[in-house]
Every structure is written in structure tokens, then in C-alpha cells.
Amino acid sequence: MKTVFIGAGAMAEAIISGAISNGALRQTDVYATNKSNRSRLQELREKYGIQTSYETAEMLQESKVVVLAMKPKDAQEALETITPFITPSTLVITLMAGVTINFIEKKINKPCAIIRAMPNTSAAVGKSATVIALNSQVREEQKQTALSLFSSIGLTKIVKEEQLDAVTGLSGSGPAYLYYIAEAMEQAAEELGLEQDVAKPLIIQTILGAAEMLSAPDAEAKQLKKAVTSPGGTTEAGLRVLENRQVKEAFIDCIKEAAAQSQRLGLAFQSRAKH
């Protein structure tokens, strides 16, 4: 299944790596290009054995899947490039934040299966939380192709396109929130006199263990928290500080603001695209 990546950044590489290693794509079927960074294409070619080229027309000929992995500012130019090669059997997958399915449909201006995907940076280690939204032209086998592709880099869920801003605030930006917590734990450990080579592995294992507990069937964060919190104990004392500082409310506002910013960026892109 000939799959062409327009854009060759970190997210494109994560998908290429995951899809090849789990058999979702064959090396000989994967093509990649970018705007001008030849050394980057050479790196991907040597690392994964894929095809790379600036002969865009030749690459796009008879392609079954086209993955738009460039920056949103390059969307119009990329869509103009691929449109002549789009057929009813082509699946277009876009990784571009803020670029709507409707915008892509209008630019291509012919029947076309389009999927918007929102992975996160944990794709680099095969642990992405990815959501996809489909237009009405996507056939069952094309949906399964996308699910196979994104399942190779982690968990994949299907949502309505209007939910993508919320997902961006939650899981798209989510890794940064956990790194923020880890950073605070590292600083606290240092202030308490723990060496980094002792504290960091403990922090990582604590986060991994908690995630594993949360992933158990019927597990609820509220109940798991309660199970750790003995009356008058150390956990209760620590949580009391978080509650007094309204940390939960701050996190809720953080996610809502990230989602709102995603929406604002999408509207700004659409506004610029009209001019």
C-alpha cells in the first residue's frame, strides 16, 4: 500500500518507525519528502530503508495514502501539490493542528476520504494517545488502515471532529503536564536532600506504576487515591496542601485553556487562509 509522507519531522518519523516495525507498512511502500531538508530525508532513508524524493509527482502517482505532516502554514501549498493526484481511492490523513476537514475538502474540491489525526509526542516511544476524526467519504477499509497505522504508535480512539480541540487540551498537550509534575517532584526531592540518581528512577517508577494501576479494568482515579490515603497519614497531609492550593482546579483550568487555545489557533488559521 503506497503511503506518502509530505513532511518528515519527528511525528512522521514516529509513525514510519512504528508502522514498519509492527508490519502495518512495508519499507518499499513508504515514501517521504519535505520542503528542502535533504539531509533529513537521507537520514530517514538510511535509518528505515524507505524511499525519499523531491519528485513529488512521481511519488504521488498511484499512492493509496497521503499523510500531511507539515506545519499548518504550509497546508495550502501542499494541498495544491497533491490535488491532481487525488482519486476516489486515495486516503488523505492530516496531522496538522487547526486545519479542518472542511478546509481540506474545499481545497481538494473533489470526493476524497479525509482523516484528521491528533497524536502526541509519546508517539516517539510507541505510547501515543491518538484520536482520529473521519469525513463521510472514508470507507471501512480506509478506517481500518488508519487504525492500524496509529495503533502502531500507541492507543487510538475515533472522535467527532468538533471534539478535537478538547482532545488537544487533554492528551495532545497532556505529556507536558506530567513532565511539569515530574519536574516539581525532582525539585522537592533535591530540597529534601535526595540525589538525582536516586530520586529520578523513583519518580519514573511511581508514574509508571500509577498509570498501570489506572489501566486496570474498572479502576477509578478517585478510588485509587482513596486507597493510598490513610487518615492522619503522610499522603493525606500532602494532599491537603494540594487542595488548599486548589491544584485540581488549576489543572482543570489548564486543560480548558489549552483546548480554547487550540480552537483560537484553528480560527486564526482559517482567517489567514481566506486572505
Tens of pLDDT, residue by residue over 220-273, are 999 999 999 999 999 999 999 999 999 999 999 999 999 999 999 888 888 877
- CATH class for the domain made up of 172-257: mainly alpha
Predicted confidence at residue 211, as pLDDT, reads 96
CATH dotted code for 3-168 = 3.40.50.720
Spell out the residues 6+ positions from residue 48 whose beta carbon is closer than 8 angstroms to its own: 16, 17, 20, 27, 30
Quick check: 267 and 274 in contact, CB under 8 A? no
User: What is the predicted pLDDT for the residue at 115?
Assistant: 98
Non-local (6+) Cβ contacts of 218 within 8 A are none
* Domain residue extents for the chain: 3-168, 172-257
Is residue 99 scored above 80 in pLDDT?
Answer: yes
- Among 97, 239, 235, 112, which residue's Cα sits nearest to residue 173? 97
How would you list the strands of the sheet with 128-134, edge to edge? 51-52, 30-33, 3-6, 65-68, 91-94, 113-118, 128-134, 154-158
pLDDT of the residue at 275 = 62
Q: What would the mean pLDDT of 11-24 be, rounded to a whole number?
A: 92
Read off the C-alpha cell for 155: 492507543
d(CA 28, CA 49): 8
Query: Mean pLDDT highest for which of 67-76, 122-131, 193-202?
Result: 193-202
The whole model's pTM is what? 0.88
Instruction: Count CB atoms within 10 A of the CB of residue 251.
Output: 14
Fold match, 3-168 / 172-257: no
d(CA 151, CA 24): 9
CA distance 241 to 156: 36
Three-state DSSP at 3 gives strand
CA distance 44 to 17: 10
